[in-house]
Amino acid sequence: MRIVKTALIAISIVSAACASSPTAPQIPTGAIQVNGTVRYFTLEGGFWAVRGDDGVTYDPLNGLAAAFQRENTRVTVVAKIRNDVGGIHMVGPIVEVLSIEIR
């Protein structure tokens, strides 16, 4: 019986270690991760947004950082959708960018 318990504990530890990926990004609760392309829109004086691979255009709440303002740049964005604010761009949901990196 002791051998069975030890084996079950060992299997549990190994499966738990295999289930967690050391390279998987940590996404905060309530946030989304989007892969997409940076686009410039000429509407309402012009602004930068991210067109997600999911077909949705994400409008950064405080604009896109200057380092990422390059047309057709592929990025990965972690963001929270902000349904509590409004905007004039009307291209898609307004998001608070938590992190962004070039792919």
Give per-residue pLDDT as tens, 87-97: 999 999 999 99
Residue 90 lies in a domain: yes
CATH of the domain at 86: 2.40.50.500
Give per-residue pLDDT as tens, 64-101: 999 999 999 999 999 999 999 999 999 999 999 999 99
Residue 37 lies in a domain: yes
What is 29-89 written as a DSSP string?
TT-EEEEEEEEEE-GGG-EEEEEETTSPEEEETT---GGG--TT-EEEEEEEE-TT---S-
Closest by CA position to 59, among listed 85, 95, 83: 95
Residue 18 lies in a domain: no
**Cα 28 from Cα 26, distance rounded (Å):** 6
Give per-residue pLDDT as tens, 22-51: 555 689 999 999 999 999 999 988 999 999
Residue 88 lies in a domain: yes
Number of structural domains (the chain) is: 1
Residue 9 lies in a domain: no
Domain with 81, as residue range(s), is 26-102
Residue 13 lies in a domain: no
- Tell me the whole-structure pTM to 2 decimals: 0.75
Tell whether the torsion through CA atoms of 13, 17, 19 and 25 is positive or negative: positive
Residue 19 lies in a domain: no
